[in-house]
Amino acid sequence: MEYLVLKPGELRGFLQNSKKKLTFTWDEFARFLGVNRSMIFFYLQEKSKFPLSHYEFICKKLNVSPIKFNTVNITNKLKKVQFPEQSEQLAEFLGIMAGDGHLGRPAYEISIALDKNSDKDYVYHVSALLEDIFKTKPSIYHQNNITRVKIYSKELFNFLHLSLGMISGNKMNKLRIPSFILSNRLFLAAFLRGVFDTDGSFHRHRPTDAAAEITSADARFLQEVTAALLFLGIRATSSGRNVYIYSKEHIHRFFMKIRPSNPKHQAKYAYYCTHGKVPLKNAI
């Protein structure tokens, strides 16, 4: 991928002027470029190189001719990938993407954002899963309290977006469980595993009671998740932005059928099975 070589202050000035002319907020500017809001501020602080494709994309939107800047080609960003067959692993990956994933354009970025502390062990599972599915090793970046697992690939982006129907950019109110997953119980359990590992929690409901919970701002997607759990024989209820499982029997059924991959969930469930309650945060 080609990146601009700029003098100090040039990128910041270009972005600020472009934002003003486009009458965007920084959030809108980030969605326009297909990146996270935090990435915009890395660009503004000139801590990250700015892709030539981003620059040309903005110039096209502004209807101006791009200035010819020097560029540097960083070839290790773009990776050849293998397109997978339908499988439990692919279903789990799609669940992860529904939770904390992002497809970004024009950089053709596939990115998963995880908590740097609570998900520090889960990062290795996600990285290994992507490498096993797509036969390419993802890059791992640490930014403040976030760890990002990324692959840059136009071919993979198009496969996920065009062939599998994944949403590019803002996912709000657009999430759905893919049809090939809905018709297969094993795939459905794997998809829910990915969702729970990224957007789920296992916590105390009362001193001796527990709750498994999945959170999403997408109401229709939560309805699909609730229906999927019921289809797998797991009783769940939804309220607002959350789906809850309260019954001890169905909590055990959930962990046996969904089999979470995130070590923080595994450790809490093991403690729950031994002690009859979910541990406090500092107990494990």
Do both 169 and 91 map to the same domain?
Answer: yes
How does residue 46 score in pLDDT terms, banded at 50, 70 and 90? confident
SS3 of residue 208 by DSSP: coil
For residue 66, the domain's CATH number is: 1.10.260.40
Per-residue confidence (pLDDT) for residue 90, from 0 to 100:
96
Is there a contact between 100 and 85 (Cβ–Cβ < 8 Å)? no
Do both 39 and 108 map to the same domain?
Answer: no
Do both 62 and 11 map to the same domain?
Answer: yes
Do both 93 and 146 map to the same domain?
Answer: yes
Number of domains in the chain: 3
Tell me which residue of 241, 90, 262 sits closest to 172, measured CA to CA: 241
* Overall average pLDDT of the 28-53 stretch: 84
**By mean pLDDT, which of 39-48, 152-161, 197-206, 264-273 is the weakest?**
39-48
- Alpha helices per DSSP H over the chain: 10-22, 26-33, 37-44, 52-62, 88-100, 122-134, 154-158, 179-182, 185-199, 219-231, 248-258, 263-275
How does residue 76 score in pLDDT terms, banded at 50, 70 and 90? very low
What's the domain range around 185?
181-283
Task: Identify which has the larger pLDDT, 2 or 179.
Answer: 179
Is there a contact between 40 and 30 (Cβ–Cβ < 8 Å)? yes
- 2 phi/psi in degrees, rounded to 5: -90, 135
Give per-residue pLDDT as tens, 153-202. 888 998 998 888 888 888 778 899 999 999 899 999 999 999 999 999 99
Do both 198 and 219 map to the same domain?
Answer: yes
Do both 121 and 53 map to the same domain?
Answer: no
- 149, 174, 199: which is the final residue of a domain? 174
Token digits for 126?
């996600």
Strand (E) or helix (H) holding 271:
helix 263-275
**By mean pLDDT, which of 68-77, 98-107, 151-160, 228-237 is the weakest?**
68-77
Is the Cα torsion angle 156, 160, 164, 165 positive or negative in sign? negative
Per-residue confidence (pLDDT) for residue 75, from 0 to 100:
57
Residue 36 has pLDDT above 80, yes or no: no
Do both 185 and 279 map to the same domain?
Answer: yes
**Measured between alpha carbons, how far is 238 from 222 in angstroms, rounded to an integer?**
7
For residue 117, the domain's CATH number is: 3.10.28.10
- 143, 174, 205: which is the final residue of a domain? 174
Give per-residue pLDDT as tens, 210-245. 999 999 999 999 999 999 999 999 999 988 899 999
Specify the amino acid at residue 28: E
* Overall average pLDDT of the 122-133 stretch: 94
Token digits for 245?
């499982």
Task: Identify which has the larger pLDDT, 114 or 77.
Answer: 114
How does residue 87 score in pLDDT terms, banded at 50, 70 and 90? very high
**Whole-number percent of the chain with pLDDT over 70:** 96
- 138, 159, 174: which is the final residue of a domain? 174
Do both 57 and 99 map to the same domain?
Answer: no
Residues 6 or more apart in contact with residue 282 via CB below 8 angstroms: none
Is there a contact between 220 and 238 (Cβ–Cβ < 8 Å)? no
Adjacency order of strands within the sheet including 101-104? 101-104, 109-115, 146-152, 139-143
Token digits for 33?
């470029």
Peptide bond into 260 cis (omega under 30): no
Q: Could you give the count of Cα atoms lying within 13 Å of 229 in the half-sphere of its Cβ?
A: 26
Do both 69 and 87 map to the same domain?
Answer: no
Do both 83 and 96 map to the same domain?
Answer: yes
Question: To the nearest whole number, what is the mean pLDDT of the chain?
Answer: 89
Torsional class of 182: left (φ above 0), alpha (ψ -120 to 50), beta (otherwise): alpha
Is there a contact between 136 and 79 (Cβ–Cβ < 8 Å)? yes
Task: Identify which has the larger pLDDT, 81 or 49.
Answer: 49
Task: Identify which has the larger pLDDT, 144 or 256.
Answer: 256
Task: Identify which has the larger pLDDT, 278 or 228.
Answer: 228
Do both 277 and 188 map to the same domain?
Answer: yes
**Measured between alpha carbons, how far is 199 from 216 in angstroms, rounded to an integer?**
7
The helix-helix angle for 10-22 and 37-44 (nearest 10°) equals: 130
How does residue 246 score in pLDDT terms, banded at 50, 70 and 90? very high
In this structure, the chain runs to a length of 284
The position carrying tokens 């760890």 is 147
Do both 71 and 95 map to the same domain?
Answer: no
